[in-house]
Amino acid sequence: MNECFAPFCRVKVRNGLLMCPPHWRKVSRFTRALVYRTYRDMVAGRQSSADYRMARNRAAFEAVQGEPDPPMPESGATKLSPPKAESPERHRC
């Protein structure tokens, strides 16, 4: 088990994962792809580990940037009044 690579995060992650899922979600798709690519290149011996370390640092930086993901998908949605249940008004005499 490794620790999440994001600063100050002590969550244990599975081998082969760089960060805990909440942090990894905040990393941009571009940087995630960069991490994967440089990791594969490093493992394959095509590139030095310096590129991978750079990509990893970039991911760590992005992971602590910006707003945390809202816990519930509904929390960020604009509030819409629920559609009124059409109650058939019947005139009773």
Given the rule CB under 5 A, which residues bind Zn ion? 4, 6, 9, 11, 20, 23
- Whether the CB-CB separation of 59 and 37 falls below 8 Å is answered with no
* Closer residue to Zn ion (CB): 1 or 80: 1
Compute the least distance from the CB of residue 4 to Zn ion, in Å. Answer: 3
Comparison of 1 and 77: residue with beta carbon closer to Zn ion:
1
DSSP states along 40-88: HHHHHTSS-HHHHHHHHHHHHHHHTSSPPPPSSTTTTSPP-PPPPP-PP
Please report how close the Cβ of residue 9 comes to Zn ion at its closest, in angstroms.
3
Q: Give me the least distance between CB of 65 and Zn ion, in Å please.
A: 13
